[in-house]
Amino acid sequence: MSRLIPTIALMAITAASCSKQTKLTYPVAPSDDTVDNYFGHEVADPYRPLENDTAASTLAWVEAENAVTQEYLSKIPYRQAIRDRIEQLNNYPKIGMPSKENDGKYYFYKNDGLQNQHVLYRSDTPDGDGDVFLDPNKLSDDGTVALTGVYQSHDGKYTAYTISRSGSDWTEIYVMDTATGELLEDHIEWAKFTGAAWQGDGFYYSAYEKPADGKEFSNANEFHKVYYHKLGTPQSEDKVIYENRNEPLHFHSVDITNDESTLIIMGGGAGNGNSLFVKDLTNPNSKWITVEESQDNDISVIDAREGKLYIFTSADAPRYRLVTADIKAPQRANWKELVPENKEAVLVNARFAGDKLILTYDKDASHHAYVYNADGSPVREIALPGYGTLSFSTNSKDPEVFYSFSSFTSPATIVEYNAETGESKPFRSTDLQGFNPEDYVTEQVFYTSADGTEIPMFLTYKKGLKRDGNNPVYLYGYGGFNITLNPSFSPNRLFWLENGGIYAQTNLRGGGEYGEEWHLAGTKQQKLNVFNDFIAAAEYMIKEGWTNPDLIAIEGGSNGGLLVGAVTNMRPELFKVAIPRVGVMDMMRYHLFTIGWNWAHDYGTSADSPEMAEYLLAYSPLHTIKNDGTPYPAIMITTADHDDRVVPAHSFKYAATLQAADTGDQPKLIRIDSKAGHGAGKPIAKVIDEYTDIYSFIFNNMGLQPAKK
């Protein structure tokens, strides 16, 4: 299968005087008299001109908004001190897990501390210092070109790598001679959501046709195709080997078995899962075999051995299972169960290490791992130290395994593990300067949502913290797309903790914490469950004496930005500060931009039915902003000019509407980054700047002051 080389002292808050906010003057946004009709219901969209992200009027408005935001932030006296400390917390060596590749060498990522992008190294041994193989920091002057994937040919002779520029989802593919590092002439553009699946002297990839000039980051993407590129030829000669002209909004991702015998196509975009098609490459006249045509379930091939496909799936198993199928007759009716669904946990990953299977499960949103035989019989559990997130580096030909374990307060610890014997030994750990993880504790609590459902939440805080109702809380959630929020490490979060704050991460419905049923309970016309779950988390923190509404900051990104926008409109009195980041704010038109249509299986669309349009309109953050003098929390919206996942028009229109509404005197700002996208691959300098502004905004509006470090 194609392989992606895996990446890798207490201070107290003191109260400060909080003077009455002076209402800011905001730029006038370009507007018109646009009104849309949804099944007879007329809905005004006065800031429609802001959807044109390249228009002179939009660019002028962006510049004016950033000026207001930066002037506000520049007046916060401790902003530079916050930046200095966040930079210190980020400045530690980061070394990823070694990965044994097809050339017999070990590859790993390393960052000396504050390098904008991690550097890929190569070594003869897993514990060697290695030599630089690929340094993405040299691909741009400002660190805005990110290395997003590395794929070695099965004979180890060539290495394809993918990059993203300025945070965009658009992907370019380059090819190197693995031994010498020489860059070949091959160059692929306008690829998206793809790797490189090698066969012979070329590879398969997925791409769109070149978009219209000026609309590269906003127009809807249609007709995703799979191509084959032969080394040494121009992209214009690449052959289309799979497309579906009847379904312009489907994705098509491609993979290939390690022996290059079977080509695999997964289709997505129309349901909660994916379709699956395979082709026998040993027979030049073979046709595509349909394994599963619907996109109702997740179905992926994890390996092929001795004529059998090993398949990971949610079909007939909402908490997932493993099955096998004969390569020549892989249809669902012929599947044989290998590892059945576990009713107490969710299977989230499966991979071979030699002749053993390594299975990762989610139990109450925390990872657990087990070793199984290839026949599906259990062998042992891998012992872990507590709540955390696992990542594995394995090779299907070798029982040698490396895994990393991280938690809310500890960066990744890497362990060397033998899948055959169960022997493990520490391989590499990281010490943080000036921060002792042992001074903090993480506990998991369960609280009751509006309909009686029990919701899990992790709380991380300084040992000895008193439950006196006066602790600042940073409440984070997501709740969508079957994504699970596990306990994971971020150096930026340490600043909040060392200043006496509580970090609360809640596992809302809509995510994957308890399988597909949990996911579906937060989708379409059950989306209100997600917002109620989040509101109940804040109410729980208040009721249990952790905090009060004047000390709660809420944050979420993308679908989590939608969450923050929606609950702020529903319960503005419950929060002091709201940070909606790169959020989906216009629920009536989200499906009309780039890949927004792909979210319809979670949200539904305003074109589906009168009932669906009415439901979306009732919670859409853009359309439910109060305008009657109701006091709102301080709000800082964040977005970026190259975000072609959730286009910045969402945040632009939301900010303009919010600023024009009568919601009290608290600031309503928008921070618009340049040469940045949805978040992936963002250079560390931009990350530090962003968190500096977020914490400065939160502290200032809570009337708090960070302690000196």
Kind and range of the H or E element at 637? strand 634-640
Over residues 344-389, the pLDDT tens digits come to: 999 999 999 999 999 999 999 999 999 999 999 999 999 999 999 9
Query: DSSP secondary structure string, 3-26?
Result: -PPP-------EE---PPPPPPP-
Tell which CATH classification among 3.10.129.10, 3.40.50.1820, 3.40.50.880, 2.60.40.3950 matches the domain 68-88+434-705. Answer: 3.40.50.1820
Over residues 639-697, the pLDDT tens digits come to: 987 656 778 899 999 999 999 999 999 999 999 987 655 556 678 898 999 999 999 99
What's the pLDDT score for residue 53? 87
- Model confidence at 12, in pLDDT bands (50, 70, 90)? very low
What's the pLDDT score for residue 643? 59
Q: Residue 258 — φ and ψ, nearest 5°? A: -60, -30
Please confirm, yes or no, whether 678 is among the known catalytic residues: yes
What's the pLDDT score for residue 417? 96
Among candidates 188, 263, 249, which has minimal Cα distance to 221?
249
* 68-88+434-705 and 141-428: identical CATH topology: no
d(CA 345, CA 513): 9
Tokens of 544: 């249990």
Q: Which amino acid is at 148?
A: T
Tokens of 424: 């493990």
> How many residues comprise the chain?
709
Domain boundaries 141-428, CATH class: mainly beta
What's the pLDDT score for residue 217? 66
d(CA 294, CA 177): 40
Q: Are 259 and 282 in contact (CB under 8 A)?
A: no
What's the pLDDT score for residue 677? 55
Return the C-alpha torsion angle 282, 238, 222, 193, nearest 10. Answer: 70
Give start and end residues of each alpha helix (H) in 199-295.
none
| pTM (whole model) above 0.85 | yes
d(CA 619, CA 688): 32
What number is the average pLDDT over the span 275-297?
A: 91
Please confirm, yes or no, whether 609 is among the known catalytic residues: no
- Model confidence at 7, in pLDDT bands (50, 70, 90)? very low
d(CA 645, CA 570): 26
Strands 14-15 and 704-705, bridge-based pairing: antiparallel
Among candidates 219, 183, 228, which has minimal Cα distance to 201?
228
What's the pLDDT score for residue 14? 32
Q: What CA–CA distances, in Å, run from 552 to 205, 470, 543, 565, 703?
A: 45, 10, 13, 15, 12
84 pLDDT more than 50? yes
Over residues 140-163, the pLDDT tens digits come to: 888 888 899 999 999 999 999 999
Tokens of 692: 């500096």
65 pLDDT more than 50? yes
Distance of CA 5 to the CA centre of its chain: 18
What's the pLDDT score for residue 20? 52
Q: Which amino acid is at 290?
A: T
Distance of CA 680 to the CA centre of its chain: 8
What number is the average pLDDT over the span 65-94?
A: 96
What's the pLDDT score for residue 644? 63
Over residues 297-332, the pLDDT tens digits come to: 999 999 998 889 999 999 999 999 999 999 889 999
How open is the CA angle 286-289-295, to the nearest 5 degrees?
150
Domain residue extents for the chain: 68-88+434-705, 141-428
Q: Which amino acid is at 681?
A: G
Q: Pick the catalytic residue from 153, 404, 407, 558.
A: 558
Query: DSSP secondary structure string, 364-432?
Result: TTEEEEEEEETTS-EEEEEP--SS-EEEEEEETTEEEEEEEEE-SSS-PEEEEEETTT--EEEEE--PP
